Structures are given as C-alpha cells and as structure tokens.
Chain A
Amino acid sequence: MSDKRKSGVPFESEDAGEQKLWRELEDLPQEAPSQRLRRRFYDELEHADQRLHRRRRWLDLFTAPALAAATACVFVGVIIGVLLRSPSAPEHAELAQLQQQVAILNRNLVLDRLDNDSASKRLLGVIEASDLAGRDPEVMRALLERAVDDRVHSVRTAAIDAIGPRVGTPAVGDELMASLEKAESPLVQLALADLVLRYGNQQQLEQLLQLSERGKLHPDVAQHVKSSVSRNRV
C-alpha cells in the first residue's frame, strides 16, 4: 500500500458527496506488482547498462579534449602545408632572384662552352644552347657562329641541327638574315644560305633571293641560291 494514501492533494469541494467520495478513495485496494517485475527490471537494467557503456566508450572518442586534439592536429597540418607550399612575399622575391641568378649562370656557362677551345666542350655547349636559343638572341648568335664556321665538322652539324627547326621563327630567322648580310666569307655565306634553303619559309627564301640579286652575296653563293630556289620551285 502506498505511503501517501493518507494524504493526497488537499481536495476542496462544497459538494458533500464529492468530499465523502474523496475519503472513500483512501480505502481502495492497491494491487502490488509481481516479483517477476523486479527480476525482469534488473535483468533489463543490466543489459541496458552494458549497452550504454559500449555507446559511451564509442562516444568518448568524441569528447571535447579528443575533438580539440584532433582539431589542433588538423590546424597544425594546414599551417605546415601553407608554410611549405606558399612562401611569403619576401621569400618569393628572394626565390625568384635566385632563379634568375641561376639562369644567368647557366647562360654564361653555355656561352663559355660554345666559345671553348675544346671541341667536345663546344659540342656540349651546342646541345645545351639549343634550349636557350629560341629566347636568347646572344645565344642564338653564338650558335650561328658554331653552325657557320666551327672548324670541327661534328660541331657545325650539331649547331645546324639545333638551329634548323627554329629558322622559321621570326627571332631566329631575322638573326640568320642579319648574319648573312654581315658575313664576308663566302664559306660563311654558303653555310648560312644553306640553312635558309633547308629550313626557311617562303618569305625567308624571297629575302635570300633578293640578297643574291642585289649582289650582297658572293657570286658563287648567289648562283647556288638561285639554282637551289629554282630547282625547289620546279
């Protein structure tokens, strides 16, 4: 029986019948639950407790300190990545300056090799200069020199092979025609004219013909140019 049976909320009513009923209710029988309920409850409580603990162990991974540590790791990783991948502005300028210095050193080294007494060094210089010639007029001029009048056949051939594919470009073509006009030696004129005849475009061929017709080239070279052009046209 409930320990609250004799109390209850204070029920106030002017109806005597309701007041009497209120008192009568006190004596209502109250059935007790079976012992089975207690056993079932404690069994279920044990299972629920185990489930709760398993869930809590899993949720413990997401506690505030664990989340804070994980966030800190991610943050540090991002910072390190940013520092490694994108240098600050002064560092970036310094890096560009270093890269420029390396490029200048590399260019000077190539020019030095193209002018070296050793044929093998000049050959190495020709190979390295082939990459720079397209964007550096001075390297192109040095390479043309090797192509025109190097005393060693293999160096000349390597230089012509390096220049050839670029003859059609305006920068190399202009440099080639300028060198041809300045060249006094018939052998040099012949070598340069052969480059234009072999790799030059139509406009360069026309320029070459004009040079030969104006008497700017040695007569034998001019004849060679005219016959080659007419042969190509046929």
Chain B
Amino acid sequence: MQAVSDEQLIQWVAGGDASCLGTLFERHHRSVYQFCLQLTRSPAASEDLVQDVFLKLLQKASSFRGEGSCKAWIFNIARNVAFDYLRRAERRTTAVDDNGDESSERLIDHRSTEQVAAAEQNLNLVARALAEIPATAREVIWLGRFVFEDYEDLARALGCTVSAARVRMHRAMQQLNSTFTRMNGVPIDV
C-alpha cells in the first residue's frame, strides 16, 4: 500500500510542490512508457512522450477534479499525447505500420529468457498480432491487461463510459484473435 495516494500527490503538485511529481513519476513512468511504446513502437519517441506526459501533469495538476483515480487521469493524458504524436507522425508520412514488424521484433528481443523459453512461438505471434491491429484497439487491450483492474478506471483513461469500454475491449480482442488466427494459419489451440 502506498503511504501517500496518487490523488494526494497531485494535489500537492497543484499546490506548488513540484517535487511530488517525482514520486508520481517513479510510480508510473514505466507503465506509461510501455503504453506509449505499444502505440508508437519507438523507444525514443516513447521516452519523449513520457517526458511530455509528466510535464503536462505539472501544468494540469490543478485541473484534476478527483473524479476517478489519478492513475486513470494520467493515462488519459498519456493516450492524448500519444495519439497526437501518431497523428503528427502520420502527417510526416512515417506511418506507424511501416515499421511494425521491426518494432514487434524489438519487443520480442527484450523478453526475459524465462518467457522466451516458456512459449516462444506463441508469444512471438501474440506480440506480432498485437502490433498488427489498429492503435485504438491495441491501447484498449494494453490498458485493460496491464494497467487497470476495473472497467471504471479503464473507461476514464479512454475517456468513455464503462459500457463503451467493455464493448471496445471485446471488439479489440476479436480483432486480435482474428489477426492471430490469420498469422498462425490455424485457430489458437485452446
């Protein structure tokens, strides 16, 4: 259990104590980075985006209303920053999908030895399938699987209702499953 909640920390940041942002950074920068990496598939860009996200927290701290968790709010900012980046990148014709395979390989390259040993082929395919589906589906899956434990926070991070978050999750998983099946050649072994 955390001694001081994220919500309390962001209030202190809003009150002028920017050092509290360091604590929030230590708590969340890894997951924000991994989320950004899922969307951008560029480690350098993701680090830049993490920087942007936490500096935006400094500017927007006073606008945190306490409706929902601070973590959901942080990820809502993160997805806005990341999608802004993707739109800019698209305009620069360096489309995300152009180096998708390379990025998914990079993800695989960073797996631990135990994970690779456990299910190398399947994981390879899951990661590649995840990289294949649209960013809007990928973000739902990533946030739902690795960041949030309930649909309320997921919905707040996505900026939609809880029921909409459930629907988006199901659609995203259907997309992932069909992509995985197509890449694997046979339906997944249940």
Residues on A lying within 8 angstroms of B by beta carbon are 2, 4-5, 7-11, 13, 15-22, 24-34, 36-38, 40-42, 44-45, 48-49, 52-53, 56
* B1 CB-CB contact with A under 8 Å: no
What residues of B have a CB within 8 angstroms of the CB of A30 in the complex? 30, 34, 110, 146
Alpha-carbon distance A7/B43, docked complex (angstroms): 25
B51 contacts the other chain (CB 8 A): yes
Whether B66 is near chain A, meaning CB under 8 Å from some CB there, is no
Q: Which residues of A contact B68 (CB under 8 A)?
A: none
Q: Mark B12-55, 1 if CB is under 8 A from A, else 0.
A: 00001011011001000111011001000001001100110011
User: In the complex, which range does the number of interface residues on chain B fall in?
Assistant: 35 or more
Whether A29 and B144, one on each chain, are in contact in the complex, defined by CB atoms closer than 8 angstroms, is no
- Interface-lining segment among B3-11, B81-89, B94-102, B180-188: B180-188
What residues of chain B have their CB less than 8 Å away from a CB belonging to chain A?
Answer: 16, 18-19, 21-22, 25, 29-31, 33-34, 37, 43, 46-47, 50-51, 54-55, 58, 106-108, 110-112, 115, 118-119, 122-123, 126-127, 130, 141, 144-151, 154, 169-170, 173-174, 176-177, 180-181, 187-190
With A and B bound together, what is the CA distance between A117 and B189 in angstroms?
A: 140
Contact present for A16 and B190 (CB under 8 Å)? yes
Does A26 lie within 8 Å of B21, measured CB to CB? Answer: no
Output the nearest chain B residue to A46 by Cβ-Cβ distance: B18
Q: Given A11-B145, A33-B50, A48-B55, 12 other A-B contacts at CB below 8 A?
A: A5-B146, A9-B148, A9-B169, A15-B177, A25-B146, A27-B119, A28-B123, A29-B108, A30-B110, A34-B47, A37-B50, A41-B25
Which residues from chain B contact A36 at a C-beta distance below 8 Å? 47
Closest to B43 in A: A31
Query: Considering residues B118, B146, B154, which has the most beta carbons from chain A within 10 angstroms of its beta carbon?
Result: B146
State whether B112 touches A29 (Cβ < 8 A).
Answer: yes
Complex: A45 Cα to B19 Cα, angstroms = 8
Bound: A21/B148 CA distance, A = 18
CB contact between A24 and one of B122, B146, B147 (< 8 Å): that residue: B122
Q: How far is the CA of A28 from the CA of B62 in the complex (A)?
A: 36
